[in-house]
Amino acid sequence: MKVVILERDTLTTGDMDFSPFDGLGSVEYYNSIKGEHLKEAVRDAELVFINKTAYNKELFEASKNLKFIGIFATGFNNVDLDEATKRGVTVCNVPAYSTSSVAQLTVTFILELASNLSLYNKSTHGGKWIESSTFSYFPYKFSEIEGKTLGIFGLGDIGISVAKRAIAMGMRVIAYTRTPKEVEGVTLVEKDELFKQSDYLTLHSPLNAQTEKTVNEYTLSLMKPTAFIINTSRGGVIDEPALANALKSRKIAGAALDVLTKEPMQKDCPLHGLDNCIITPHIAWTTEEARRRLLKVAFENAVSFLNGNPQNVVNTKI
């Protein structure tokens, strides 16, 4: 059985063990490739593992023997599920592997936005404390988060994990979710109220037709001028030109983003270079612990499929 593992370079810096996959069959590993090279790589494969590769109709047509796609991720909007189902291809993702990691980065963003520690560190190493006439200096805003309102858009596993951490730090937590649920310490509100009340607004929803550009000119206009936006979900949940305008005009105080609409970041990204916008390169999922869980479950998905009992199937009509 031919097994193809794509985008290996997106999963490891040499610190991950792929050896269990070698027991699945004749395995070929590739780093990120595109175009005809990609089509040739998957041409005879029966099992293919991907991360962000767009598995569209054209690529399915090049994959005549394909039976299984294993996604090294939770999101699966990069796979044409209708086409997969039509061709009898089982598609499996890895849910919940990065919950703790994403929640951790979200809280890190909150603390950074409140304290400006990176600016203080840069200032100190730049010699400003040596030059100071007083024992302490504080040119950058440093605010307490206790008592502040955290708004959570999307109350799934990650949203709930963030809520628990925020509550432990003394924050008031409100949330908007399309699927109402009771979470201790969390008050559910309508979407407009979420934007109006939040001191920190963090996004934890999938990207789909209902959530695309949730942050837009209108919703930004509802926010406090002292408020911050945090996004560790999908870049497309934000209308980036609208956010850039709000940041430049100081309609909101700032933003911290781990994801963008186009990744890797493009030179013409409207958020690039803004002094009140923190941007990290989609790292929330990349803790060593999370990546080990990711590989483990992705491998188990393939084994379960080969044993006739597939798990974590996302095209459920198969």
pLDDT tens digits, 188-206:
999 999 999 999 999 999 9
Query: Are 112 and 74 contained in the same domain?
Result: no
Query: Are 243 and 298 contained in the same domain?
Result: no
Mean pLDDT of 23-51: 97
pLDDT tens digits, 15-29:
999 999 999 999 999
As to burial, measured by CB atoms within 10 angstroms (0-12 exposed, 13-18 middle, 19+ buried), residue 5 is: buried
**pLDDT-based confidence at residue 298 (cuts at 50, 70, 90):** very high
- pLDDT, residue 63, reads 97
Residue 266 domain flag: yes
Pairing of strands 149-153, 90-92: unpaired
Average pLDDT, the chain: 97
Q: Is the peptide bond before 270 cis (omega within 30 degrees of 0)?
A: no
Residue 314 domain flag: no
Instruction: Give the helix/strand (H/E) hosting 118.
Output: helix 117-125
- pLDDT, residue 70, reads 98
DSSP H stretches of helix in 169-260: 191-197, 217-221, 240-248
What CA–CA distance (Å, rounded) separates 256 from 120? 17
Mean pLDDT of 59-73: 97
What token pair was written down for 278?
């923190």
Residues labelled catalytic: 234, 263, 282
The whole domain housing 301 covers 2-97+288-306
Query: Are 137 and 153 contained in the same domain?
Result: yes
Question: At 139, which CATH number?
Answer: 3.40.50.720
Mean pLDDT of 29-35: 96
Residue 176 domain flag: yes
Mean pLDDT of 271-281: 98
Residue 318 has pLDDT above 80, yes or no: no
What token pair was written down for 161?
């994990």
Query: Are 158 and 243 contained in the same domain?
Result: yes
Residue 152 domain flag: yes
Beta-sheet strand order (sheet of 254-257): 186-188, 172-176, 149-153, 200-203, 228-231, 254-257, 277-279
Query: Are 140 and 273 contained in the same domain?
Result: yes
Residue 209 has pLDDT above 70, yes or no: yes
Query: Are 76 and 66 contained in the same domain?
Result: yes
Residue 164 domain flag: yes
What CA–CA distance (Å, rounded) separates 96 from 88? 26
pTM for the complete prediction?
0.94
Residue 316 domain flag: no
What token pair was written down for 89?
């291809």
pLDDT tens digits, 214-244:
999 999 999 999 999 999 999 999 999 999 9
Residue 123 has pLDDT above 80, yes or no: yes
Query: Are 93 and 104 contained in the same domain?
Result: no
What CA–CA distance (Å, rounded) separates 284 from 233? 9
pLDDT tens digits, 134-154:
999 999 999 999 999 999 999
What CA–CA distance (Å, rounded) separates 20 from 53? 22
Query: Are 23 and 90 contained in the same domain?
Result: yes
3 state DSSP class of 166: helix
pLDDT tens digits, 160-170:
999 999 999 99
- pLDDT, residue 180, reads 87
Query: Are 124 and 236 contained in the same domain?
Result: yes
- pLDDT, residue 77, reads 87
- pLDDT, residue 39, reads 97
Number of independent structural domains in the chain = 2
